[in-house]
Amino acid sequence: MIERDYIMRMINVLVAAIVRVLALKVKKEYPQALQELQSTGKALLGIDRTLVDQFSVDQLMQLFGADLSVAVPKSYVLGVLLKEEAEIHALMSDDARAGTLLLKSLDLLIETYLRFDEPVESRHLEHIDGLLEKLGLASIPAGLLKKIFRYQEALHRYAKAENALYAVLDSEPAFAQEGIQFYRRLLKKTDEELAAGNLPRDEVLEGLSELK
């Protein structure tokens, strides 16, 4: 279990910074808004901003330490900061930079959920789902699509998990074996559970047949 007092202290600082950033965005003071985000990141996470671009998500989480009760909240906060940073770059018409930051933000936010198997705080899933809607599966690399597949299945969103599965298969046909195991897991669910996940049993059987 994440230490809630610890994470809430971090979230309170994060929210206060985002409020300041929002005021700067309204005034179109975008460089100052970026500086506010970077200063907040330095204060909360204790790492230099340049490392965020240089390191992968796994490397960043390792940098935050082996203790998941510390590494997961810090990684989550970084994911939210990068989401905010991406939005500012989009306002500055730097779409390429914004896209790169959105992907890393999504990766961090999904990885923190998968590592701890629960939301870090109440808006965790809202942030992830907003990024998924904004990016669309077609723009997401296969490695991250695999995490999205696991994320959607963990939340019992079976139709959305299937969509992510087929997006992976477009570039990695060998992932079909994971898909077969996915459909076999679903066949153990009740009809009610499958219906709640928007993937009825006949569609599960059809998917399994196709991949076999």
In whole angstroms, what is the distance from residue 107 CA to residue 115 CA?
Answer: 12
Examine the domain organization and report whether 182 and 204 are in the same domain: yes
Examine the domain organization and report whether 15 and 89 are in the same domain: yes
Cα 152–61–64 angle (5° rounding)? Answer: 140
pLDDT at 3 over 70: no
In the chain, pLDDT over 90 holds for what percent of residues? 89
Provide the mean pLDDT of the chain.
Answer: 95
Examine the domain organization and report whether 29 and 124 are in the same domain: yes
Q: Which of 135, 156, 171 is the last residue of a domain?
A: 135
Examine the domain organization and report whether 159 and 130 are in the same domain: no
Examine the domain organization and report whether 26 and 106 are in the same domain: yes
Examine the domain organization and report whether 91 and 31 are in the same domain: yes
pLDDT digits (tens, 9 = 90+) for 166-190: 999 999 999 999 999 999 999 999 9
pLDDT digits (tens, 9 = 90+) for 89-98: 999 999 999 9
Question: What confidence tier does 2 reach under pLDDT thresholds 50, 70, 90?
Answer: low
Question: What confidence tier does 207 reach under pLDDT thresholds 50, 70, 90?
Answer: very high
CA 164 vs CA 124, 138, 145, 159: distances in Å = 20, 10, 6, 9
Q: What total of structural domains would you count in the chain?
A: 2
Say if CB 76 and CB 109 are below 8 A apart: yes
Examine the domain organization and report whether 96 and 148 are in the same domain: no
pLDDT digits (tens, 9 = 90+) for 144-161: 999 999 999 999 999 999
Q: Which of 114, 135, 156 is the last residue of a domain?
A: 135
Q: What is the structure's pLDDT at 68?
A: 86
pLDDT at 48 over 90: no
Examine the domain organization and report whether 76 and 122 are in the same domain: yes
Could you list the residue range(s) of the whole structural domain that residue 164 is in? 143-212
Q: Which of 135, 154, 183 is the last residue of a domain?
A: 135
Examine the domain organization and report whether 147 and 64 are in the same domain: no
